[in-house]
Chain A
């Protein structure tokens, strides 16, 4: 392990890769701050650029962008009460009231310090958890991998939230269907290509990601006529207040940050759970633990109430890299996009990545830590200025986003057909959004589709077509049992709600 860490350190600390982290964090912060654009869009927009880099630098760039985008999302949550993504919604509860009291600087500083600590603790836990999980999964066979993919897809749906479980399942199936477009890898049979030669290789992952996130989000901004540029400008011109924290304030938030770091990491490791659940859980946990006046301050500008979700969100983001790097299973929409990018580099994340590409594996983990430091020492002091840059009108910004998305996809294939298809997919994505159908499970299904089919085919060949491969090996059975348990989570939630309602009516 230590040789791997050394080689990762050597890779991460080259001048060019350090520059890549800085650029990534900076670009991520700016994109993440823009209304409607979250980490998924930020990473999707970066993918065309990563094709000019080596795999390690590409992953480092994406990790930097990921962190930057999360921090950018927190900034817009605090400054203008506009969380770019669900993961920073809990940040607005106490962050925005603090900003309104003229303590925006302090709120941003707490967000940065809390994110830094959460990221640091999680990165340390990742260093030990990832190799352990990778060594266990070395003995995995096709049946186990199929079960793992199944677990990942089920988990994403089970944790989708009230009212979204069925929709997520449906969208996962839709994503898996889209993944079957193109030539079947074993028999060489073209499937669902409508005789179009441009579809022989299937739908490009980048095209789908860009159309579903960057293009549809930009168009949704126009549809909804959202304009937070003016608010951002006024927030930036207004008083930021001091960025420094008092000793008493540090003491107040320190235990919350510690608890939320561990909680966030473990929630992040669960496939499908991610930063949103972690941040809400951490906020709820701290509120539950608070007493008297402290408790009353929650939702009105409590420092603990801001620090907890920020810490947990960042720790969960790091935690979500554990299943991605060790099992090759993305735990969230963002890591799904990263998996797609890795696959296009010819790198298959999973236990073998740890052995065959230790430099990539460890440099990504180390870069996450470097990304945290960059955010703290570079981005934080620059926030007032970055926020001013964001006063660019959406009438200029949206055409730019559309252009970057279109040209990003074109530069990979140099095929104009992809531009036509992208507009079509973008329009379909808007329709799905308007119908409240979530797109992240669809992307996850699309990315896992090929690997899932490949492992299912192998498992069936080994078992002579019998479905007993699902329970023949203890490891497969164990994973399928966890999947079954996770599938019960929404039912359990419904049962508990029913009991509460009954108790309420009875009492």
Chain B
């Protein structure tokens, strides 16, 4: 178990993080250094001011009202996924540093219970959305349009989420504090795996959660997931 965790939750994290940062930086650099289209590709109506363009960009990127109007169900599941993923990301910050104020208000147990509920809901929402996306790609034009990349990414996401949920729902007694000890040791470049984590009932699920996470991060810059940064400039072009 320790070797497995050492590979996925120590080495893998470093490798995944490095590939992700360098890869995304390289991708952004490539975009930034390729000359812009000589033709203005905007469409109407377009905002006349910079501020207007900025707000439209934010609205189009974070809410995508046009997409909502044409396929509400797909929009709903996609919005749900992205929102829950953001919530999960924010929740994960707790393993770097405990939040201020909130734990004092709720107390340690209260905080853990809150994190349990919030993380649990986010995890379930993400899982439901990914299942919907997988199901949608199994028939008709959606299946015809799909390429292996699409299924690979969904499989990786599914792996990350289901293992995360396993830790969340079955990791009784293992709370943020334990994970924080592990993660802070990575940040300090003195990796250490707390034995109460390694030998708990969620040791293997952490290992597998991290296996999928590492792979997702390594593949991220080479996949369509670069839309996480590309969507902003592509949507801005709409108003130009």
Is chain B found bound to chain A in the same assembly? no
* A contacts, CB < 8 Å to B: none
